Homo-oligomer: A and B are copies of this chain.
C-alpha cells in the first residue's frame, strides 16, 4: 500500500491542476477536506488493525466503550445509535454480536416495553480493561511531535468544524431573524 504522504502529494498536485481548469473552485478548502478525509480514513484503518487481534471491529468496540464509560453501564439501542452514528439496523447486528460473546446483556425495559435495555457485563468490563492498555502506545505515537499548543489548536479547529457541519443544512443564507 502506498504511504499516506505520497497520496497527499499526489492529491496536492491534482487539485492544483484541477483548480487551473476550474478557477472558482475553493482550492484551499478542497485540499483541507481531502486531507481530513484521507487522514481520518487512515486513522480508522489503524484502529481497525489494532483491534483485529481481539476479534472485534471498530463499531462493536465503540458501542462497548460507550457502555463501559456510562456510570450505570447501560443504554438502549436507540441512544447508542445516536452516539455511534450507526443506523438502528446495524445496532441490532452489533448487539447480537456482543450478546453472543457475553460482553453485554439485552433485556426489556420496565417503563417502556418498546425499549430494550443493553448493559455491559462484568466479562465485558474485563474485556475492555484488557484491550485498552495495548492501544495506548499507538495513540500516543500518532500525536508524536504535537506540542500542548498543537493539541489545543487541533482540538479547537476540529470542534469548530463539527459546529459548522452541524449547521451546514440549516439556513444557507443565515440572515438574522427580524425581531
Measured CB to CB, the closest approach of chain B to A46, in angstroms, equals 6
Q: Which residue of B lies closest to A142 (CB)?
A: B164
Q: Which residue of B lies closest to A67 (CB)?
A: B14
Q: Known contacts A7-B85, A40-B41, A46-B168; decide if A33 and B139 are in contact (CB<8 Å).
A: yes
Q: Known contacts A28-B151, A82-B7, A85-B41; decide if A161 and B142 are in contact (CB<8 Å).
A: yes
Q: Which residue of B lies closest to A141 (CB)?
A: B168
Q: Which residue of B lies closest to A14 (CB)?
A: B69
A8-34 CB contact bits vs B (8 Å, 1 = yes)? 101101110110001011101111110
Q: Give the size of the chain A interface in residues (CB under 8 angstroms).
A: 78
Q: Which residue of B lies closest to A26 (CB)?
A: B140
> Are A42 and B3 in contact, with the CB atoms below 8 A?
no
Q: Which residue of B lies closest to A19 (CB)?
A: B69
- What separation, in Å, do the CA atoms of A138 and B169 have in the docked complex? 9
A93 at the interface (CB under 8 A from B): no
Q: Known contacts A1-B82, A40-B40; decide if A164 and B143 are in contact (CB<8 Å).
A: yes
> Are B28 and A33 in contact, with the CB atoms below 8 A?
no
Q: Which residue of B lies closest to A5 (CB)?
A: B166
> Are B129 and A146 in contact, with the CB atoms below 8 A?
no
A133 at the interface (CB under 8 A from B): yes
Give 7 nearest A-B pairs by CB, closest first.
Answer: A40-B40, A14-B69, A2-B82, A4-B162, A35-B158, A3-B166, A29-B139
